[in-house]
Amino acid sequence: MKAAKLTYHKATSIEHALELVGRYDGAGKLMAGGQSLVPMMNLRMTAAEHLIDISGLSALRESAWKDEAFFLGSGVTHSMIEDGKVEDPARGYLRHVAAGIAYRSVRNRGTVGGSLAHADPAADWPAALLALDAAIVIQGPKGERRMPLAQFQRGLMETALGEGELLKGVLVPRLSEKARWAYLKFTRKVGEFAHSIAAVVVDPAAGISNVVLGAVGGKPLRLNGVSTSLSPREIESDLKAADLDGSSYECQVHKTMITRALAKALQ
């Protein structure tokens, strides 16, 4: 199958992209790398009368320190992070995550912002960046606003992006030398979306202690008990609090992944 008939637009700036989004009032979709949107459109799982291409905007590929956090533009590709073309303030964590996403051809075009805006609970960046206490930068007609990533993804492919807004980038904290992290995922074959994701980031100097479970429910889940205690003994109660059936195969996989990630991060 192929996408329904549409009109293609090449945005020349962030302002131009926002103007096009406003002009077509819900009938247009923004496309960064297109690695999720285009296949869904080909399968007629989603549609747009107007496709607004923002992949060529240099402003969305900027990366720089802003205050105490590192700004990573939404147009930065997975391969740019994997290859070290942008700084990794998380001491190798971002490069590790990027290198494990799908295939190289996907990483060459897929973007951080595209992954976050698409909000698939089985995608890598929503879980990985939630574990870092990252924040989102959103650009809209009324200017720029920021919010914690924990508030950005609201459910299955649902975000806090309002009408006429785009995701400009993400703010990532700097991890200290004493930081510990692990990122593990379970897939049955190389390149597919994960069936379970376990992300652990612990850095007392930065005030970060997060254990996040991805590829579950509508969005990644911070396990509050495990994050506080850093003990696998709390896994059962955290999963129960999330209404996950502890006897199911999927739940057993999640328990195993969290246990392994904790051990790897804290060894």
DSSP class per residue in 68-120: TEEEEETT-BHHHHHTTSS--TTTTHHHHHHHTSS-HHHHHH-BHHHHHHHT-
What does the pLDDT read at residue 191?
Answer: 81
Last residue within a domain, chosen from 173, 195, 227: 173
Residue 79 CA to residue 69 CA, distance in Å, equals 21
**CATH code (residue 28):** 3.30.43.10
Tell which of 173, 204, 223 closes a domain: 173
The domain of 12 spans 7-53
Point out the domain boundary residue: 173, 197, 228: 173
Sites in the chain below the pLDDT cut of 50: none
Q: Is residue 2 part of a domain?
A: no
Per-residue CA distances from 32 to 47, 55, 57, 190 (Å): 16, 4, 9, 24
CATH number at residue 222: 3.30.390.50
Please give the pLDDT value at position 128.
98
pLDDT computed for residue 1 by the predictor: 65
> At 115, which CATH number?
3.30.465.10
* 258, 211 Cβ separation under 8 angstroms: yes
Up-side HSE of residue 180: CA atoms within 13 Å toward CB? 12
Same domain, 140 and 198: no
The whole-model pTM stands at 0.94
- pLDDT at 211 (0 to 100): 98
What are the φ/ψ torsions at residue 156 (nearest 5 degrees)? -60, 110
Burial group, residue 157, by CB count within 10 angstroms (0-12, 13-18, 19+): middle
Q: What is the pLDDT of residues 21-30, one digit of tens each?
A: 889 877 788 8
Return the pLDDT at 5: 84
The confidence score (pLDDT) of residue 190 equals 82
* Number of structural domains the chain divides into: 3
